[in-house]
Amino acid sequence: MSFTTLNLHPKILKALDIAGYTEPTLIQQKVIPKILRGFDIRASAQTGTGKTAAFLLPVLQNIITSTTKPGHGPRLLVLVPTRELAAQVADQAKKYSQGFPKIKTVVVTGGMPFPPQLRQVRDPHEILIATPGRLIDLMETKKISLGRVETVVLDEADRMLDMGFREPVELILSATPKARQTLLFSATLPKSVLKLSEKFLDKPMEIAAQSQQAKHENIDQKILEVKDIKGKKAQLLKILKDESVESAIIFAATKKGVDILTEELYDLGFNVDPLHGDMDQKERARTIRRFRDKRTDFLVATDIAARGIDIDSLSHVINFDLPRQSEDYVHRIGRVGRAGAVGTAISLVSKQELPLLRKIEQFMSGKSKETTSGPIKGPRKGSEKKPTRKAWKKKRPIKQKKAKRPYASRK
């Protein structure tokens, strides 16, 4: 199937050509015609499936082909859980609307200075991408009007609700015209999301990009059982030294855990940066940029910080710690295998984490599989040597990419 069959404006098709997209992804094939016809949508689709373009392209088409009410406020409002996802959606919005200089995209998110955002929302714009908390703050100034909104997108709705944004999301939706089109995208559809959609969506079309089982077929998922934290570190070293592991996000459970692991890997000569919610927005953006530009090989991150990062060429995701929420496992492994690419997700599971693993396996309908094949040549359960802290410090990795700059948190 080609994009030309989707009835999109020639300038949008040109932008897709420039982006190098040859054909619509599955979710785009399913969703675009329905959005063009004005339906509300409730879609289960993850990051990496091409879901952002699935809503941006048809809404952009609707914006350029229909007349609008007078006023300055947005015609498309996209609510997202995090600043990183907001930036990623905005990048794509600008990319697809490049042929239409009058279509302006504005981003408002928390953690950024308030006055410039206030100025931006007062200027005329068509697309507004916002995190719910900051948008509420701006609405309270009465300087922003949502009366022109034709379409609202709730992106990563499950995560927005998990982050406690139910009330602001509901308030914002109630402030938009009743006759709007509402599009809800969510990696998972728990009860809370279904309740929200029942309240605010009008007879939505139900779309699943892929079945839960088929979703991760291009991701090789490996589980490595280890005894304890030392076993995890030993295995992690083996993995990182493997030549096939070019770039990876290593997920740890806590901010402190991220800092400790980054420091240890840095001391061993790995080119690694930390990413967590205690870092300010500039530092996080710089870290993500460095990783995307391949100036850093590895990121050690918490879930919240890694959310919404748009990096196509990631080869591996490593779960140094398993996530507490099974949904987060889905999000984490969704960092690889994006837009049809093949990727590997490796989970290092200690004895203590076995109950968590069972929960995840249940959630994934038995999709996780145990294997020793692939790039990992390390010992199996119980057989790993227990390196002392000293040995861990002394041992030098084979693939030693010397860090090109001091680890960020060092003074």
Q: Which one of 47, 61, 151, 235 is in contact with ligand AMP (CB under 6 A)?
A: 47
Q: Tell the smallest beta-carbon distance from residue 45 to ligand AMP (Å).
A: 7
Q: How many residues does the chain have?
A: 411
Residues numbered 26 to 45 that lie near ligand AMP (CB under 6 A) are: 28
Element (H, E) at 115: helix 114-122
Positions of E strands within 121-253? 127-130, 151-154, 181-186, 205-208, 219-226, 248-251
Residues numbered 7 to 26 that lie near ligand AMP (CB under 6 A) are: 21, 24-25
- The yes or no reply on residue 216 touching ligand AMP (CB under 6 A) is no
- The CB-nearest residue to ligand AMP is 52
Distance CA 83, CA 132 (A): 11
Q: Angle 123-91-56 (CA atoms, 0-180°, nearest 5)? A: 85
- The yes or no reply on residue 337 touching ligand AMP (CB under 6 A) is no
Q: Are 104 and 155 in contact (CB under 8 A)?
A: no
104 vs 292, beta carbon nearer ligand AMP: 292
Q: Which residue has the tokens 């080869």?
A: 315
SS3 298: strand
56 vs 77, beta carbon nearer ligand AMP: 56
1 vs 171, beta carbon nearer ligand AMP: 1
Q: Which one of 6, 50, 59, 257 is in contact with ligand AMP (CB under 6 A)?
A: 50
- The yes or no reply on residue 155 touching ligand AMP (CB under 6 A) is no
- The yes or no reply on residue 339 touching ligand AMP (CB under 6 A) is yes
- The yes or no reply on residue 310 touching ligand AMP (CB under 6 A) is yes
Size of residue set near ligand AMP by CB under 6 A: 16
Q: Which one of 44, 52, 109, 247 is in contact with ligand AMP (CB under 6 A)?
A: 52
- The yes or no reply on residue 49 touching ligand AMP (CB under 6 A) is yes
156 vs 264, beta carbon nearer ligand AMP: 156
Q: Using CA atoms in the order 277, 129, 42, 35, what is the torsion angle rounded to 10 degrees? A: -150
Mode of pairing for the β-strands spanning 248-251 and 298-301: parallel
Q: Are 185 and 55 in contact (CB under 8 A)?
A: yes
Element (H, E) at 132: helix 132-140
Provide the binding-site residues for ligand AMP, judged by CB under 6 A.
21, 24-25, 28, 47-53, 92, 310, 312, 338-339
